């Protein structure tokens, strides 16, 4: 308790990858979307409050994660649809080790890397508010399928650093989009997703997380049959404190705002989308690892 360097805390904030992806909204004329999404973040800076803090204040030194997701969305009619997401992630975690045989116990670091199926998401979709599917809500569950008890011989991986949360979560979200100009070249959208854990395992309750996004895009560029759409977005995230005997509430929870320029290439029925998400405001409780930027690429096929 008297050694700040031994505090272990990190903030994944992985739900941010599930918003600001307007190319995945259901569209009129297409019943389904099959997609693959790849995300990346390298949490290599210790952050406390609204500013960067000394690395010595956090026993965790780095979390590098490659997220991959295979998804299928299908609209059974103009009102109802369903979506399933199957994630598979790779993580490299560097932290002060508990290895009693280390040359300098309590100071030497351990690097642990592993890959695992993530937490599967099953959702229903309702878009019956308007004929053009310009608005919709989605609701479902996140299942505890991800590995939440992986560890090395000395137990260096904490619950908040696992690929899976071990919890069953209720998901509730929605979106709305519209035209800014009559020629329909400028569009706007808003989106939100609430993640609420309801069933937990072994005294670790991850916090409620809310991710929201608002953006505009321009559809006036084309190259042959390829429509090119630049996108500008603002993303806001909130995560409360984790709870339970295996949680670290004093070093979990945050608020942050990210700016996210992106671009989409559309040659029907294929879309390719990419963006970078840059934090411009962060307020972290205690000491947590943060990334300088987050990256997203997705490819989808509409049918």
How many domains are there within the chain?
Answer: 1
What are 249's two structure tokens? Answer: 């509430």
CATH of the domain at 55: 2.40.128.130
Confidence at residue 7, expressed as pLDDT on a 0 to 100 scale: 46
Q: Tens digits of per-residue pLDDT, 241-300?
A: 999 999 999 999 999 999 999 999 999 999 999 999 999 999 999 999 999 999 999 999
Instruction: Please name the residues in contact with 263: beta carbons below 8 A apart, sequence gap of 6 or more.
Output: 228, 229, 230, 231, 273, 274, 275
Which of 81, 172, 72 lies closest to 133 in space, CA to CA? 81
Question: Cβ atoms within 10 A of the Cβ of 232, count?
Answer: 14
Q: Tens digits of per-residue pLDDT, 163-191?
A: 999 999 999 999 999 999 999 899 999 99
C-alpha–C-alpha distance, residues 134 and 179, integer Å: 10
Phi, psi of 215 (to 5 degrees): -160, 170
pLDDT tier at 20, thresholds 50, 70, 90: low
With contact defined as beta carbons under 8 Å apart, do 276 and 293 qualify? yes
What are 267's two structure tokens? Answer: 């040659």
Q: What is the sign, positive or negative, of the torsion defined by CA atoms of 75, 80, 86, 91? A: positive
244 DSSP assignment:
S
For residue 219, give the 3-state DSSP assignment: coil
The strand ranges marked E within 5-55 are 32-49, 51-52
**The model's pTM:** 0.90
103-126 burial code (b ≥16 CB/10 A, e <16): eeeeeebbebebebebbbbebebe
For residue 236, what are the domain limits?
4-302
């Amino acid at each position: 308790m008297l050694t700040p360097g031994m505090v272990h805390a990190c903030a994944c904030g992985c739900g941010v990858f599930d918003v600001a992806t307007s190319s995945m909204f259901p569209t009129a004329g297409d019943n389904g979307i099959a997609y693959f999404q790849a995300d990346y973040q390298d949490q290599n800076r210790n952050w406390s409050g609204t500013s960067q803090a000394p690395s010595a204040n956090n026993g965790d030194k780095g979390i590098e994660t490659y997220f991959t997701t295979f998804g299928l969305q299908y609209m059974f009619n103009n009102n109802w649809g369903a979506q399933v997401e199957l994630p598979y992630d790779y993580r490299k975690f560097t932290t002060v080790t508990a290895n009693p045989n280390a040359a300098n116990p309590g100071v030497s670091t351990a690097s642990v890397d592993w890959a695992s199926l993530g937490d599967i998401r099953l959702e229903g979709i309702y878009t019956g508010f308007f004929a053009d599917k310009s608005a919709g809500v989605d609701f479902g569950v996140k299942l505890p399928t991800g590995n939440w008890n992986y560890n090395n011989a000395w137990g260096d991986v904490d619950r908040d650093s696992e690929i899976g949360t071990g919890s069953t979560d209720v998901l509730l979200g929605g979106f709305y989009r519209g035209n800014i100009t009559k020629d329909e070249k400028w569009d706007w959208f808003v989106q939100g997703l609430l993640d609420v854990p309801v069933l937990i395992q072994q005294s670790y309750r991850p916090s409620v997380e809310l991710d929201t996004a608002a953006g505009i895009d321009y559809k006036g560029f084309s190259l042959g049959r390829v429509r090119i759409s630049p996108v500008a977005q603002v993303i806001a995230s909130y995560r409360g404190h984790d709870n339970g005997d295996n949680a670290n509430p004093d070093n979990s929870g945050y608020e942050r705002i990210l700016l996210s320029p992106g671009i989409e290439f559309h040659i029907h029925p294929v879309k390719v989308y990419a963006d970078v998400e840059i934090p411009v405001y962060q307020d972290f409780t205690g000491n947590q690892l943060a990334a300088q930027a987050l990256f997203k690429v997705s490819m989808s096929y509409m049918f």
